[in-house]
Amino acid sequence: MDEQDQEWLDSLNKERKDQGMDQVTYETFEIIIDKLEKEWFDLMKRVPKSQTDAPPEDSTCAVCDDGEGENSNAIVFCDGCNLAVHQGACQCYGIPYIPEGQWLCRKCTISPENPVSCVLCPAEAGAFKQTNTGKWVHLLCALWNPEVTVTKGAYMEPIEGIERISKPRWRLACSICGIKKGACIQCQKASCATAFHVTCARQEGLLGSMKSFAEEEHSLRVFCEKHLPSDMLKNRRVHTPPPASVSGSATLKSTKAALAHSSGYAPPAPIIPAYIYDRVLAYILKIRVLKKRDFLALVCKYWSLKREARRGAPLLKRLHLEPWTASSTNRHKTDEQKARQLKAWRWFCLASCFANFTQFLGSLRGDIERTRIMAEYVIRRERKKMDRIEAFQSTLGTMLFPFEHDLRDALEKVVATDKMKYFHEPVDRADVPDYYLIVKNPMDWTRIEEKIKDHEYMNVDEFGDDVNLVVDNAMLYNAPNSVHYKSAMK
C-alpha cells in the first residue's frame, strides 16, 4: 500500500462516514488488492498471449544484437517505445536497477512526445543517449565510432567526443542507404574505403559481435560486404528494415518514432471479470464491511485505473519474478517438469548465494589483512616516535639538570642502608597521631624520589638537606634506645 492508495481510501472512508457507514481499514484494502493481483495473475497465466500484443520471444538487444539474457543481465523492454535492451550496467544500455513500476528508456524519459534525431546517423529508432552538450546519439553509433567515448559508469552516459570526429567523415555518403547525414564508419580492410552508417551496417549484418566488448574495448570489427570474414559471414544476420524507409529529411521529421506515450504503445486498462469478482467476494466473506459488494466494485475500478496508469505493470512484482513464470511456454509443462525446473532454480540460487558469500568472505579477509598491516605500521611509527621523544627528553634533561643522575645514584645508596624500610614511606597519621605535632617538616625517601623526578632540586645541597632531614626527624621523635633511632644513626 502506497501513499496514493492511502489517499484514495481516506477519501472513500470520508464519503462512507458522511453516509453513516463504517470505516474500511488499511489491512482490509491490502487484503483485497493482494487477492485481486493474485487472481489476475493466475488468470493471465491460463490465457494464451497473441503474437501482436507481446514482444517476440527472440527479441534482441538494440545495442549488442544478442537475444540471450541472464539473471543479472536480462533483456528489458521500455514501457514507452517497446525498446529491447540488456539490463546490465556498464555493458549495453546501463540500467543499474529496474523500478517497481514502468521502466522508460532515456529518450522516453526526457523527450516522450518530441522526436529526437541521432547526430551520427539518419535512423529514427533505437537506443538513444544524450551527449554532454544535450544532443541525442544512438548508443550503438557512439560505441562504434572510434573518436566517440561512452562514460564507463552505471548509466553509460553522457556521450562525449562528438567534436573529435574528423570533418571528412562528416562528408561521407553511406554506401547502403545513400544518405549523406551524420558520420559514417569505414571498412577495416586497409585498402577499402567503403563507408556506411553504424545502424545501416547493423541492418545488413556487417558489424561483428559485441560480446567481448566489456572486457576488450578494441574488439569491435566492421567490414563491408566484399571483405566480410568467413566467421562473420557464417553468423551474419540481415535485419528486415522497418516498413517506413528513410527517404529524406522531410520524411524523417514527419515519421519520427519518438512519441513514447502515444496510444499505440499504451496497453488497455485491465477489467476485472465476474469470475475474479466472485472469488474475491467469497475470500473476504468473513470481513465485516457495510455494502461489501459496492465497496469491492469500487476497489476493482481503482485497481484497474492504477494498473492502467502504470502501463500494465503489476502491483506485486514478486509474482512475475518466479522462475516458472518467465516464459509463456511454461504453462504447457507438466508438474514434474516444473518441479525439476524449480529444483534446478533453487540449486542455482544456492550456488549463486554461496559464490557471492565466498566472494564476500574473500573481500572481507583482504580488508582485515590490509587493516592488520596498517595497524602494524602505525605501531612501528608510534614506537619510533616514542623512542625519539625519550631520547630528546633524556638529552634535554641532561643539559638542564646535569646532576640529577648523580642524585638518583646517591639516593639508591642511601635507601639501601635502610634495610627495614623505616623511612621509605610517610608516617601514617592514624598510627602515630602525635608525630606531626613534634615533627614540623616530615620527609621520607619516596618524597625525595618524587622531588628528583619533578626537578625540584636546583643543586646538590638541597638534596643533602632533605636526606639529613629524614635522619633528624627520626632522631627527634624516637627515643635513643629505639630501633628507628639506631637505624637513623647508621
Q: What pLDDT score does 92 carry?
A: 80
Is residue 36 within 8 Å of residue 42, measured between CB atoms?
no
DSSP codes of every residue in 50-76: PTTTSPPTT---TTT------SSS-EE
CA 194/CA 190 separation, integer angstroms: 11
Nearest CA-CA partner of 310 in 99, 45, 32, 87:
99
How large is the C-alpha radius of gyration of the chain?
44
Average pLDDT of the chain to the nearest whole number:
80
Angle of CA points 472, 477, 479, to nearest 5°: 105
Q: What pLDDT score does 250 carry?
A: 41
pLDDT digits (tens, 9 = 90+) for 153-167: 677 888 888 999 998
Cell of 45: 497465466
CA 187/CA 169 separation, integer angstroms: 13
pLDDT digits (tens, 9 = 90+) for 217-273: 556 788 888 888 887 777 776 555 544 444 444 444 444 444 444 444 456 778 889
CA 129/CA 107 separation, integer angstroms: 7
Q: What pLDDT score does 212 carry?
A: 57
Q: What pLDDT score does 109 carry?
A: 82
Sign of torsion over alpha carbons 176, 181, 182, 184? positive
CA 21/CA 292 separation, integer angstroms: 11
Q: What pLDDT score does 11 carry?
A: 92
Q: What pLDDT score does 64 carry?
A: 84
E-strand ranges in 38-171 read 75-77, 84-86, 128-130, 136-138, 149-150, 159-160
CB atoms under 10 Å from CB of 279, counted, come to 16
Q: Which residues of the chain have pLDDT under 50?
A: 52-57, 242-265, 323-332
Cα 398 to Cα 3, 155, 391, 392, 457, distances in angstroms: 78, 68, 11, 10, 14
Per the DSSP assignment, residues forming a β-bridge with 136 are 118, 130
CA 234/CA 425 separation, integer angstroms: 101
Cell 526526457 belongs to 110
Is residue 413 within 8 Å of residue 448, measured between CB atoms?
no
* Predicted TM-score of the model (pTM): 0.45
Q: What pLDDT score does 379 carry?
A: 95
